[in-house]
Structure 1
């Protein structure tokens, strides 16, 4: 059995609903207080008036219901290795293709309507909004060139934080606080910069050594971050690409996209292959572009939809296929799983 691996080879997923009222098989306590923040931040960015449409109807760029949410669930139906020269569906069209054929994941209209009302209230009341991104403890506070480079590095390395045991999590101490998961990575990057290692400069990280990266990513309890070697390789390769082809700055990549989120996705996939996560589902190559779409969304949020974040087609990207999203949607009864799939997810780690 193969997994829907949305980042790199070796990613592992382990889902299931616990007996208590919590997120299915979530060992990261940081998820629980950020229910609405997580859901809103990954949805297609839009005004409040369109939010229910995203859940219940047809966004203008889509051709059938549920394409946005259909992009998220984990599906185990025959994903295999990729052959060359096959036409790849966009994430939105991939979602449509998969949803129409999925046997083990189902979308529940009643759950969508209920959650849509909660999200709509959160937006209209100011509980959450585009400006909240920069209010997070570890995100850049000033939307400048350094923020662009920070977003690239953190999203380049934003994958696989699961460990085998909850008492052996990857954790990073920064500013007298322990961070886990993605925030542990952000803390490690910020700590490195404070300590004098400019991890935001491609000229620096194209030559980063194993010892240097191990020090940067050092953790509480000496737990090594999963897929360390893969992260080292990606930093070196991406740094060399930026220096060789883009004047040593990711900012130049963004500017070449001329305000198009779709063009930025294409450039990420073309020049930084780790962002191109695809698979074959029922003889059709489909795309997920998890981290690529996260990166676009982070730029949009960081710059409040202005300057380099002023993407005229931002509403055309989908919700990204983060492994937290199915957990949250399952918890809120937006999606349901077949008994066969639930049995697998409760008993085994897939990967």
Structure 2
């Protein structure tokens, strides 16, 4: 996955909520280090990349608004290097302009995907909420229909419009937005998108678990190859090296590392100690090390027995190495499956705690 790049273009008028959306997508707040600035001067801004803090191969690009002095509409796509982006997100907090519609039509002509995002929907609901007989569902329906009809009148066929609040991604259309992106992206880029997505609903966590589980066989195969080297202790060293890397990846994917949990606490107002209290795995909210991993593995008696059997088996002539490789595969697969399940369960508990 580390070699698969995902470049997401985000464009729209100044003050439309682009920067806050980019930050929320990356799981950080506007005040965090490395956040996209929310006070940039649009007319002088160039395309700016913002890497995901855990997966730098996933990049969100904050593009200047179309038809500024530096980026006129007729040469906009060429100037922003259109070809490198996997898809475009066109953001507005009021209505989509003629220039944004022209951009969408040009993107469509070049056979790339684009999506309209109506941001700051929470502000719209608060404004409408003062009215008598307010209905959130009916208000959202009307806003969505107005956006779609406005775009259709301007020449966009079957526009895809998503209503989003960057401060509450778990609400409104962001889950549907992810499902649409997941369906539209090439298969080799779907996991990259999935792993950088915040845990906005239980289904995201389940999908992450399934995607990570499908890759366990590769780690297990590498460990089996290490077991084929006839050196005492070498197999265990290889196993531990690979396990530390895999488990570290799991922790980051589920947002259970210390920085991610603290950012979640700041963003939601739920104290870090409360989030930490619902976590069971010793590997979450901790620095993953070989010593910590050995401690956790030692508590899995069946796994410990397999590890011992693997080391003993290599001393038997002829059949020792194949048996050792098979045991190494089984041991690694079992360890990672158990750890993955525990971390996924922790991610679910953290998500539920945030919702309380």
Same fold (TM over 0.5): no
Name which one, 1 or 2, has greater alpha-carbon Rg. 2
Output the TM-score relative to the length of structure 1. Answer: 0.25
Q: Which has the higher helix share?
A: 2
Higher relative contact order (CA 8 A, sep 6+): 1
Output the TM-score relative to the length of structure 2. Answer: 0.25
